[in-house]
Structure 1
Amino acid sequence: MSAVAGHPRLEELAAHYRAPLLRFFRRRVSPGEDADDLVQDVFSRLAAQDLAKIANIQGYVFQVASNVLRDRARRASVRGIVSRVPDGFDVEDEAAFSPERILQSREAVQMMISALYELPETVRMVFSHYHFDGVAQVEIARRMGLSLSTVEKHMAKANSHLLYRLRKVR
């Protein structure tokens, strides 16, 4: 079923912006990558929005398209990091997953969670949306009614605090 089914305004936008979005994505992705899937992702995200409240719909559509590309690149980079196994690392090596290492990892995670809860709620929410939910900073600003500059400052504050806490325990 199409992402536009049942949304008259979205159907109108799809008819108007599908071809420009295809061109937008084809200029920015490698040949063989499916630009149609990226366009569909844009309309899926738009379906979750109240389109009547958006003043500059063209700008918004292409901002969503940019976010789709950014999120795709972020997922690809994470997959690349996860798929690379360091030289000499043996997945079957029991020392890598020893009870001591597991306990150390759990303690590190608990320390990071505690450090996150030391932050003001707004800062913590900005950090969580960005790092855990994969929401772009522009979208976080829009959702939370903050300026992009404020979101960036909250991210810097959270990152600085977490790095400080990480260094403190080492």
Structure 2
Amino acid sequence: MPPETAAPAPAESPAPDDDLTAPTSKPTDEVNARPCEPSWSYHATSKNKNYHKGVGAEQANYNGTSRTAKSTFTSDVTATVGIAFTGELKTVASVAIASIEQKFSVNVSASLTARLGNSISVDTPARKTTYARYGVYRLKSYGYNQYTYANCTKGVKKNVTIYTPHRIGWAIWEK
């Protein structure tokens, strides 16, 4: 008698749960669709320049001579400067800061403290006044908030202009 040969194994067919076909409906309509987490998000879109927010009094020194003179300015106050914005900021500051840092490759903070006792000496030209103000430079940037609903649709964009603390220093100018 010839040896028995085994019957070929049946071809494997996909299990009913395998998704090998294109969906026929939107993901939000499917029973197994994953819902979105309802939340506000912030998206930075563009930036402007740094604007100085002074702390303490503006200082000035007039040079009434015919020669250049040295002017020395010393900060007389300690103050903390934080984020400022116009429009509606619906997220926490850390979310906006992260978006700004990622988009523009800069380091910004929720707040920076300009400390008492910092000094600077500058040349004041003849018959000119040198002005000085110690404080915090804030980066002005633009972006928008947008709400994501549980069904993953997006709400209306709400524009925001944000000034985020960037660095501490003096603003010096002459008139």
Tell me the TM-score range normalised by the shorter chain.
Answer: under 0.3
Structure number having the greater strand percentage: 2
Q: TM-score under structure 1 normalisation?
A: 0.19
Structure number having the greater helix percentage: 1
Structure scoring higher RCO (CA < 8 A, sep ≥ 6) equals 2
Which structure has the larger Rg over C-alpha atoms? 2
